[in-house]
Amino acid sequence: MKKRKYDDDYIKYGFTCIGDQECPKSQCVICGDVLANSSLKPSLLWRHLETRHPEQLDKPVDFFKQKLANWKSDITSFVSKASTDNENTFEMSYQVSYRVAKASEAHTIAECLIGPCIKDVVHSLDIVYCMLREKAAKRIDVVPLS
């Protein structure tokens, strides 16, 4: 099966290249949809733009380049935030483990008792944004407690 190559002109259809050089894929800079290598045809990229984003049809190439730049900066900020979250998770894990060891308790008490209690406290707080509660609970799920 013939593998198609990505052409830099595809940005005018709102697509950028992801993947490797051997089998590149195209990703829409507007909605993030990833199309297979077999879709690296101008007609198929145009059809995606025409059917999914008709309001963007008359936009200049610079519009799509700006979308791509914003998308890349969003990814960079997400990665840096994720590393900060990992550092905070490590710190919380250390503090819980330290307190469990200091109290001469079995390390499983953190997983069986402390973790669920923290989740209950987070859920019972009267926070205006429900999403904040869910996000906090998900962060607690990734904290290793042993």
pLDDT at 139 over 60: yes
For 112, which DSSP code?
I
Instruction: State the alpha helices, DSSP H only, in the chain.
Output: 42-52, 61-102, 108-109, 115-124, 130-141
pLDDT at 129 over 80: no
Backbone region of residue 16 per phi and psi (left: phi > 0; alpha: psi in -120 to 50; beta: other values): beta
Q: What is the mean pLDDT of the chain?
A: 81
State the average pLDDT over residues 93-110: 82
Tell me how far apart the terminal alpha carbons of the chain are, to the nearest angstrom.
50
Distance CA 99, CA 118 (A): 14
pLDDT band at 90 (very low <50, low <70, confident <90, very high): confident
